[in-house]
Amino acid sequence: MERVIIIGGGPCGLSAAAELQNKGIDLLVIEKGCVVNSIYGYPTFMNFFSTPELLEIADIPFVVTGEKPTRQEALTYYREVAQRRKFRLHSYEQVDAVERREDGTFTVHTTKRDGSRADYATRFVIVATGYFDNPNLLDVPGEELAHVSHYYKEAHPYQGMKVAVIGGKNSSVDAAMDLYRAGADVTWIYRGETYSSSIKAWVLPVFESMVNKEWIKAMFNTTVTRIEEGYIMVSENGEEKTVEADAVLALTGYHPDRSLFGGLGVEVRAETGEPEHNPETMETNVPGLFVAGVIAAGNNANVIFIENGRFHGGLIAEEIAKR
């Protein structure tokens, strides 16, 4: 039987692994993609808002060449943490379900990369699954088409194309500006009446200038009603319009995956989506089941980042060590 299984190999999952390892507690990390899979999915040339010391885990310094870490530097850093700490880490293994047994232990059911199944018995489970794998869907006809994506990597493939960018926060604004600079014809579509207050203060004036100069077309009070090949239908201030679009980037945010909680009896607060848990130990109302990182924040993913989620592992390790 495993002592502890951590579901999720992101920064908060790895931080929890390091804290448990510091106390001599055996553990296994199971990650459905590569290590820090969510960061791997970020835009290729992204820079973090945070300074490197706020992203450090496992007592290993995060050294960067500039003021803020790049995506590539973060991938290198967290990969190095996993290698130096020699965590038992199963990559590309999907956790399908967690079952709580009568004796209070758990069985974790997984599917491996080759399609084979595995079952692990464990005393404790830490869910650190993040949210980046679960985009907020527009729920409109055509969203499943091949030219629609909820993720943005880089601008180069869109040169010379008409691109509709849907969403009003930092990811959509950064993508729109990046696409324009690469030679795309960009229409930025936002359901709000004016610019979101969450847009970075040093970015907003630049974006506004691009819009005012009509380098980027901005549509406020606008929702998408249908997506077709080559165009989308929108409602702008209640008026139906057609927007040409060779590609559609629906950058409308992400949400946590709470499916693992379903059969375990974890109470989820209806108004926030937050799993019931003790903030001093991160243990849910199900004994032996803990949450770490943004999954603990429920629907408001802006409450917990790597900066504060990395400390959850220490709270969890302290509690498990007592037992």
User: What mean pLDDT do residues 177-186 have?
Assistant: 98
| Residue that the structure tokens 């201030």 belong to | 237
SS3 155: coil
| Cβ neighbours around 106 below 10 Å, total | 22
The CA distance from 181 to 137, in Å, is 27
Give tens-digit pLDDT for 32-55: 999 999 999 999 999 998 999 999
Give tens-digit pLDDT for 12-32: 999 999 999 999 999 999 999
DSSP letters spanning 218-272: EE-SEEEEEEETEEEEEEETTEEEEEEESEEEE---B----GGGTTTT--B-TTT
User: What mean pLDDT do residues 208-220 have?
Assistant: 98
Give tens-digit pLDDT for 149-171: 999 999 999 999 999 999 999 99
Give tens-digit pLDDT for 227-286: 999 999 999 999 999 999 999 999 999 988 888 898 899 999 888 889 999 999 999 999
- Crossing angle, helix 170-181 and helix 204-212, to 10 degrees? 50
Q: For each of the domains in the chain, give its residue range(s) and CATH number, in order of start.
A: 2-133+254-322 (3.50.50.60), 148-250 (3.50.50.60)
Report residue 130 as tokens.
């993040």
